[in-house]
Structures are given as C-alpha cells and as structure tokens.
Amino acid sequence: MSHDSRQQHGSVRTARSRRPVRAARPVSPLKVSLAVVASLVVVVALFAAGIAAEQYSHTRSAAVTATTSPPAKVVPAGPGFGDAVRDGKFQFVVSAMDCSRTSIGVERLKRTAAGKFCVISLSVRDIGDGTKYFIGYPQKARDASGGEYRIDELASLYANHGTDAFLKKLAPGKKATSSLVFDVPRGVTLATLELHDSPFSGGVEVTLR
C-alpha cells in the first residue's frame, strides 16, 4: 500500500464520528418528596424510641427504689384497756370507761356534773412486800388536747358506795376494784389516764380507747 493510501485510510479513521452523550434525566419532584418524607419518618421513629427508652429507664429505677426502700416503722400503741401497768408498789388494770352519766348517787346522796361524768373502772393490786393504801385524788385524766382533769372526790365516793372501795388498804398480793369519776365538759373526750401509787410517784399512763 502506498503512503498516500495509508494517509487516506488514517484520515478516514480519524474522521469517524463519536457516539452522542446522553443528557442526565431530571429527578422527579415526587421522588424528592418521598425521600424527604422517608427521612422524616426515620427521624421521628428514632426520637420516639429514645423517649420510650428513657421512660422505661425512669420506671425501672422507680420500681427498684420502691422495692429496696425499707419498710415504715410501726410505732407500737401504748397500754390500754385490759393491759396491766405498774407504778411503784401497785399494779393497775383499766377495764372500762363510761361517759354517759350526768349524775351519780341517789336521793340526797347525789352529785350532778357541771358537764358529764366519765366513770373509769379499774383494779389495783399490791405487788409490794408491805401494806399500802390506794387513794383516788393523785389520779388524773387528760383529753386529746392535753387538758388535765382531777377526780371529783364526792362523785367518786358515791360511785364506790363509801370509802372502803375508794380508800382501800391493801395487803401484799391483794387486789381491789375501784371507780374514778371525772367531771368533764360535754364536748370533751378523755384520751389518757395517769395512775399513781402515791401523790409523789412518777405515774404510769394508760390510753383510754
């Protein structure tokens, strides 16, 4: 092949046209919107999952705290009706309280309350090693507000039918029953009774309930 022929053939090869480049297709607005919505759904789901996990953590912590908290202490109630209590050489058992009466006694030997009478029934036992007298006037009662009441001695004398039961001489081991009478206002409720074996003893408290 001659030089001219090769040159002509190269020229033809060089002059061959290239394939046209396709232009990029425009993105559909619908697809863009769907992508944005999908991204928002993922973000919302992750946010909700985080809130749920935090709430579960708080609930679990509260449950553990409630489970491990020590139980509340129960304050034992003080002695009341039927309980034996001691002051000095006497043991007392309060059995009942009746606040329904406004007078005590019969005919001329009768006492009328300014408010109402509360009659407290109790037994007294000498637990010492010597003879001792139980007397009524050191005994006292209190209402829920702390108001203090002394016995009505005359009404107590009538309630006990004389001094033998109210001012009682007790030998060691012996027991007597007695009634203590308090004149209290009509709207007052007695809450406690303080009992003494003598006017100078420390006393012991009984709840009237």
CATH of the domain at 106: 2.60.40.1240
User: What pLDDT score was predicted for residue 35?
Assistant: 54
- 159: domain range? 84-207
Q: Nearest 5°: phi and psi at 132?
A: -145, 145
Say how many residues make up the chain. Answer: 209
Residue 36 lies in a domain: no
User: What pLDDT score was predicted for residue 71?
Assistant: 57
Residue 10 lies in a domain: no
User: What pLDDT score was predicted for residue 33?
Assistant: 54
Residue 129 lies in a domain: yes
Residue 48 lies in a domain: no
Residue 13 lies in a domain: no
Residue 177 lies in a domain: yes
Mind listing the pLDDT tens digit of every residue in the chain (209 residues)? 544 444 444 444 444 555 554 555 554 555 545 554 455 444 445 544 454 455 555 555 544 444 444 555 554 568 999 999 999 999 999 999 999 999 998 878 899 999 999 999 999 999 999 999 998 889 999 999 999 999 999 999 899 887 666 678 899 999 999 999 999 999 999 999 999 999 999 999 999 98
User: What pLDDT score was predicted for residue 48?
Assistant: 47
User: What pLDDT score was predicted for residue 151?
Assistant: 94
Residue 172 lies in a domain: yes
Helix (H) or strand (E) holding 91, with range, is strand 90-106
User: What pLDDT score was predicted for residue 164?
Assistant: 65
The count of domains in the chain is 1
